[in-house]
Structure 1
Amino acid sequence: MKIVVVGGTGLIGSQVVALLRGSGHDAVAASPSTGVDTLTGEGLAQAFKGADVVVDVTNSPSFETEAALDFFTRSGRNMTAAEKEAGVRHHVALSIVGVDQVPDYGYYLAKVAQEEGVRGGGVPYSIVRATQFFEFIAPVMGMSTQGAEVHMASTLLRPIASAEVAAAVADAAQGEPSNGVRNIAGPEVHRLDRLGEITLAAKPDGRSVVTDDVAGLFAGWPDGVLVGDDTAYIASTRYEDWLRQN
């Protein structure tokens, strides 16, 4: 099959492309660097020509509410129009576990709008919702650092390796449209501050973690939103094992 991965040069997309090519598919990475701009629609018609499946793992360059909402809704409309013109039979989108349970966070509202566009777009679809990536922990710690202290909330997370997210997205792309949502999560539930402690124990750099439930991105979020439910597929890679290898 010809499978176009939009956002195919990023963290998840590049891994999805490699997995699909390894399975014998004609996987095409589409991104601004390859001449494809979802916001303007430039390059979409040519990229989607002859495609059986389109995978959307794009991300907004801004987490600000209006910018993110504009990115996901406009990109979605442009992709849907190009998919219909090209006769694409399956659209796969990557989203976030709990995305519809945090109405006060603008970026999540933008992702909800993206999902709604996928459902109403008229192209058979599959949505894969993942928990936060392991690769996300270090940047969160960086944003939360004050001197030698890392201020982190005690919010529950169930993070997952990006490689396992990519594998789930690639599997969805090779299957039939589910016209529904599949949740995937990591094998262990941790408090965010504990993830910081685990990180610094494995890779000490002179900083220490301070539990601060009013600090950072996930401060005040209800427990359970970011861990998935009993329907989630549970991946196998533990955070501590991943740290030793990365």
Structure 2
Amino acid sequence: MFSISADKVAIIIDDMMQQIMKKSFEPGTKLPSENALAERYRVPRVTVRNALAKLEERGYIYSKQGKGRYLKDTSIQIELHLTGKTSFTDKMKRLGYDLTTHNIGCEKISYDAKIYQLLHVNEGEDVYKIGRIRYIQNEPIALHHSFVSAARFPTIAEDGPHIESMFAYYRLHGYQEFDSHKTLLSTTFPTLYEQEFLSCNSMVPLIIVESGCIDLNSKKVLEHTKILYRSDRFKYDITNI
């Protein structure tokens, strides 16, 4: 019985997703009632409710108490280059987006063999993590973590809580041209911490981009970066520019 019910839920989700993609529903449109959908798909009302709950978890629809469910407004689609020599801030400004950044803290991390190796730092030396939230049109779209060696930047503990652009910070220290190193792409689902900052639920996949930033002239490693992007807010251009 469980598998049959699950199959029916999946069929309803697939059909409604096709309608959403075909724009059969306009953003903000109220969806048919549970009773109407149950009659349309010839299933019990609880099956429809389960299907709608999953669509809501995935961020496609939302509920208004006592009024029903509605299709969310169209996501902001942003062309994002995952590799290259330009900072996130510069890319967004060049493309004309209304970008704001909030620093969410700077803290010394415990020893992490992977990060220490990527930064060419020895165990026992200090590494700091600087966190920033990126907003476009006042909507959170990305969570940035930059890992920086205190040996490379001795005042990072004091400076970190005020940094919004790492590239701007590096320029203040004499580094002018940058390149990325070993960019890795993966996916995950958000933790409670990440859900809070990115204003998303547990079923919205996140795109993780990890890379190293090096000074183009000296080839020194300046930072290791881990960025979590909301997958429902971007289209991706992964050309190397």
TM range (shorter): under 0.3
Query: Which one has a bigger Cα radius of gyration?
Result: 2
More helix by share: 1
Q: Could you state the TM-score of these two structures normalised by the residue count of structure 1?
A: 0.27
More strand by share: 2
Q: Could you state the TM-score of these two structures normalised by the residue count of structure 2?
A: 0.27
